[in-house]
Amino acid sequence: MNNIQAGDQQDLEKFQGTWKLVSATRDSKALADDKVKQTTIVFKGDTFRFPELAEYATSKEGTIKLDATKTPKQMDATSTGGEVMLGIYDLEGNRYKVCFAPVGKPRPSEFVSTPGSGYILQFWERPKLP
């Protein structure tokens, strides 16, 4: 993590911990509510993992690279198998949204998942404490 810009590091720190999926779409098709409710992601350092295998996930686990200097901000997710998905993100408080292109496709420029695009649009929030 030696070449991380200050803004990237600040955002990376904000991602740390567990997040619950609120909604997800691919090609404008929504992920079923029961699947949404059981999907969580955990960030630790620059790594991510899905404790349960998640539908519409970039991969089971891997690393992320952020670029907070771009508009919209950029996130690259690299699976343990080496596949890279290019995405954009917006992080505000206890919520964030992210939109990823399929492997090998150009990065999305906006937070939409239109039919045939293959884009995965996800909305996440930190779980509320009991």
Domains in the chain: ranges and CATH: 6-125 (2.40.128)
**pTM above 0.85?**
yes
Task: Report how far apart, in Å, the C-alpha atoms of 25 and of each of 6, 31, 49, 51, 74 are.
Answer: 32, 6, 20, 20, 19
Tell me which residue of 115, 62, 66 sits closest to 87, measured CA to CA.
Answer: 66
Q: Hey, what's the torsion of the CAs at 29, 30, 35, 39, to 10 degrees?
A: 110
The 10s digit of each residue's pLDDT in 49-87 is 988 755 555 568 999 999 999 999 999 999 988 999 999
